[in-house]
Structure 1
Amino acid sequence: MIDPVFLDTPLYRCEALESRLGCAVSVKLETANPVRSFKARGTELVASLLAGSGQQAVVCASAGNLGQALAWSGRGRGLDVTVVASRRAPAAKLDRIRALGARLELVDGDFEMARERAAAIARRDGVRLVEDSLDIETCEGAATIGLELVEAAPSFDAVLIALGGGALATGIGHVIKALAPGVEVICVQPQGAPAMTLSWRERRVVTTGSADTIADGVAGRFPIPAVLDDLLLVADDAVLVREESITAGMRLLLDHAGLVVEPSAALGVAAVLEDRDRFAGRHVVTVVCGGNVDMDAYRRWTGG
């Protein structure tokens, strides 16, 4: 069901990063596709199933990347796509959602407010609500990354995964634990948006009053209980990183890998920067999960 353009994304050792990080580093590059993030692996499944069942419309809340992916997948299958997002979302992501033909509704609050509005629209109009990380298709889409990792790089010791709503971490995590159980699954979140990490550590849902991070793609405040249950099954660790480590990771990926990434995609590198001893001498894979970023902000963060 997934368009091949989103599959078999590049995976390679990045030796230029290794001297800086003190460990062997492989990059799984999920920006090399038409929506520049991993999200379309899941929206391709959603849109295919909806089109096959005769449904015409779908709505989602998005920090930006899911909306782009659903718009792309829906456009190719004749679906009427509505995306609800925060006005504070990066303009580059909002512009791309519009360009892909989706109806975009903006709310004044954060992502959690957008989620509430999307649910209200679904109830009002009787259309399918796509809930990232809760809908199994979004997790199954991410799980295909895990299949590709296991098939192509069976010798790695740990995989570093950005943790937001949880689809990426649970999808990849279930595959890794089933097919390569010796590999450590490490989830990474910003200190300014720690809700899912705190929930994992306490084994219960922990919400936060705010989310303050440049990594907008993972800035949720209300973890979904069912997703946390999945995460507790597959994550070996969940760590929090500082904002300065995220921007340092973005600079390293630019200077030594030639990659322009959004902050969420640099979380894995940030985790290594903050705990070099833990990863010394090991082979880690970091999933570069998105590259949709406002360039003015990017230049401020990276000093470019």
Structure 2
Amino acid sequence: MNIEQIQDAYETIKDVVVKTPILYSPVFSEMCGNGNKVYLKCENLQTTGAYKLRGALNKIRKLTAEQKGRGVVCASAGNHAQGVAYAATLEKINATIVMPETTPYLKVQATMDFGGKVILHGKFFDDAYKKACELSQQEGATFIHPFDDEEIMAGQGTVGLEILDQLPDCDIIVVPIGGGGLISGISVYAKAINPNIKIVGVQAYGASAMVKSFQEHRLIALDSIATIAEGIAVKSPGKLTFEVISNYVDEMVRVKDNVIVDKLLVLLEKHKLVAETSGVASLAALKDIKNIQDKKIVCLISGGNIDMLNLSALINSGFVSRGRIFCFGVELANIPGQLLNVSTLLTKLGANVIRLEHNQAKARNKYQNVQLEITVETNGFAHIQRIKEAFEEAGYFINPQY
């Protein structure tokens, strides 16, 4: 793959894809520190909610008439599926999408809404991948690989083209990595334009096959993966992408799930932007990039297709980890007036009750006492500590729930 292929891909798809904005972030710039300026490349605002449309459309538009007549098939846990379905419908060809049975409903429904025929198969991506390969052979349909394909990589590389058009003097580009198609395309284009640009790849600790491969200079597949960032949870890196990454990427960073959740919450609160967990991995990596000072850093927000129920749970988790919500249990005598005493104490402490539940079964003395489970809004960990101390002074024993 080379820069000419990426430029050609842009001409092929530019009538459909959105040239997504780059936004300066004072909040993440301050978090990064050292005089660095952080910018967000918002592929969560792409037509299908993620950058994947770029590669899928480039690949599908370059199929022969005969190939288009036989249709396409792909395997995906979500964003690639939507990109292929949208592109295939646009080109008036049939698309069969094999998705794991565990795929969030939002992504399954969105894929069908874009015109794809969805088959749910297996628990993991690898199961869906094998099934899609079987269907491709049986039906003669063209298999559209999610990352290990030069035309897919070239299409994703158009993100890099836009970044350097929008912010020509950027110093560092930070990119989430699953199979490696996105960072491959971006790094080839960016290095061709400016060899001094630093390219940083990011993976979750629980799914870091490409990081390990990069460090050991050989392809390494994982036996299992465990991360909330399902969009970049890939057991086996691509052969083509590994070769490109080995030659063009400067640094690899791994991030923890709790940091991903925190940055998701900051993005939502401060920028009013919705992203999926994998989409904010680049933001989670900012503190771990080596030796950066007074640099312009572009963090790629790769997608925004997150299920609302999942988002709600992550927001709640983020509030807990930041000391904005405190959930605790307290055992009370099962007599009138106890609830009023607790309520009065919380009022004096300025803690807003958002959930309250009596649970006599959890009390140590089930016949005389009741366990009161309380969730309150708080102003941080110092506030939580004051609540604990006040309850202890009043003779109550607090049992934090999480």
Q: Tell me the TM-score normalized by structure 2.
A: 0.72
Q: Partners of 1:259 and 1:52 in 2: how far apart?
A: 40
Structure 1 residues 100 and 51, CA gap change in structure 2 (3 angstroms): farther
Q: Partners of 2:187 and 2:296 in 1: how far apart?
A: 17
| Structure 2 residue aligned with 1:240 | 254
Q: Partners of 1:78 and 1:186 in 2: how far apart?
A: 38
Secondary structure of 2:206 counterpart: coil
| Structure 2 residue aligned with 1:79 | 93
Pairing 1:1-304 to 2, within 5 Å after superposition: 1-22=12-33, 23-50=36-63, 52-53=65-66, 55-56=68-69, 57-273=71-287, 275=288, 278-303=291-316
Between 165-174 and 220-229, report the one with greater CA deviation: 220-229
Q: 1:108 deviation in Å? A: 2.1
Deviations 1:253-279 (A, max 9, x none): 111211110011111110014x27744
Q: 1:32 deviation in Å? A: 1.7
Q: Partners of 2:62 and 2:295 in 1: how far apart?
A: 41
Q: Partners of 1:250 and 1:51 in 2: how far apart?
A: 41
Structure 1 residues 197 and 121, CA gap change in structure 2 (3 angstroms): same
Secondary structure of 1:175 counterpart: helix
Q: Partners of 2:147 and 2:115 in 1: how far apart?
A: 24
Contact 1:42 1:139 in 2 (8 A): yes
Structure 1 residues 290 and 243, CA gap change in structure 2 (3 angstroms): same
Contact 1:158 1:186 in 2 (8 A): yes
Q: Partners of 1:54 and 1:189 in 2: how far apart?
A: 35
Deviations 1:142-170 (A, max 9, x none): 11111111122122221100000111010
| Structure 1 residue aligned with 2:363 | none
Which structure has the higher relative contact order (CA within 8 Å, separation 6+)? 1
Q: 1:100 deviation in Å? A: 1.5
Deviations 1:169-190 (A, max 9, x none): 1000101111111111000000
Q: 1:53 deviation in Å? A: 4.8
Q: 1:224 deviation in Å? A: 2.1
Deviations 1:88-112 (A, max 9, x none): 1222111101112211111222111
- The one-letter code sitting in structure 2 at the alignment partner of 1:271 is A
Contact 2:187 2:249 in 1 (8 A): yes
Secondary structure of 1:4 counterpart: coil
- The one-letter code sitting in structure 1 at the alignment partner of 2:32 is L
Q: 1:250 deviation in Å? A: 0.5
Gaps of 5+ in 1: none
Secondary structure of 1:168 counterpart: helix
Q: Partners of 2:290 and 2:195 in 1: how far apart?
A: 23
Between 236-245 and 27-36, report the one with greater CA deviation: 27-36
Secondary structure of 2:243 counterpart: helix
- The one-letter code sitting in structure 1 at the alignment partner of 2:22 is L
CA RMSD of aligned residues (A): 1.6
Between 138-147 and 3-12, report the one with greater CA deviation: 3-12
Larger radius of gyration: 2
Structure 1 residues 16 and 224, CA gap change in structure 2 (3 angstroms): closer
Sequence identity, in percent?
28
Q: Partners of 2:23 and 2:58 in 1: how far apart?
A: 27
Structure 1 residues 244 and 224, CA gap change in structure 2 (3 angstroms): same
Between 21-30 and 171-180, report the one with greater CA deviation: 21-30
- The one-letter code sitting in structure 2 at the alignment partner of 1:282 is K
Q: Partners of 1:110 and 1:279 in 2: how far apart?
A: 38
- The one-letter code sitting in structure 1 at the alignment partner of 2:39 is S
Q: Partners of 2:65 and 2:166 in 1: how far apart?
A: 32
